[in-house]
Amino acid sequence: MEPDGTSTTPPPRFLFYCRDCDMVFEAAPDGTGYEQTPCPACQQMCLTVEFEQEEMQRDEAEASFASFLGGLLINGLPRLGRAERRAWHSLVPRRKAKLVTIAHYETCEDAEADVKILAEHGIRALTVGEETRVVSEGRLGWQPTIELQVPVQFAFTAGQILRAADPPQEEQRVERDMSEEDVVFPCEECGEMLSFPGYRRGKVEVCRHCGEYVDVPSAEGA
Question: What is residue 82's predicted lDDT score, i.e. its pLDDT?
Answer: 56
What percentage of the chain exceeds 70 in pLDDT? 62
Same domain, 48 and 68: yes
| 170 found inside a domain | no
Average pLDDT score, the chain: 72
Same domain, 107 and 139: yes
More confident residue, 212 or 30: 212
Same domain, 84 and 121: no
Same domain, 15 and 88: yes
157 CB neighbour count, 10 Å cutoff: 14
Task: Give me the CATH number covering residue 156.
Answer: 3.30.70
* List of residues 6+ apart from 104 with CB closer than 8 A: 144, 145, 146, 147, 148
Same domain, 67 and 135: no
Domain range enclosing 129: 99-164
Model confidence band, residue 177 (pLDDT cutoffs 50, 70, 90)? very low
Same domain, 41 and 113: no
> Distance (Å, rounded) from C-alpha 32 to C-alpha 12?
14
Same domain, 115 and 153: yes
**How many structural domains does the chain have?**
3
DSSP run (H or E) holding 53: helix 49-75
Question: What is residue 128's predicted lDDT score, i.e. its pLDDT?
Answer: 84
pLDDT tens-digit series, residues 22-79: 878 887 776 665 677 788 888 888 877 777 777 777 777 777 776 766 665 555 555 5
Model confidence band, residue 118 (pLDDT cutoffs 50, 70, 90)? very high
HEC-encoded secondary structure of 181-205:
CCEEEECCCCCCEEEECHHHCCCEE
More confident residue, 149 or 73: 149
Question: What is residue 186's predicted lDDT score, i.e. its pLDDT?
Answer: 92
Same domain, 36 and 85: yes
Is residue 86's pLDDT more than 60? no
Question: What is residue 163's predicted lDDT score, i.e. its pLDDT?
Answer: 83
Is residue 81's pLDDT more than 80? no
pTM: 0.35
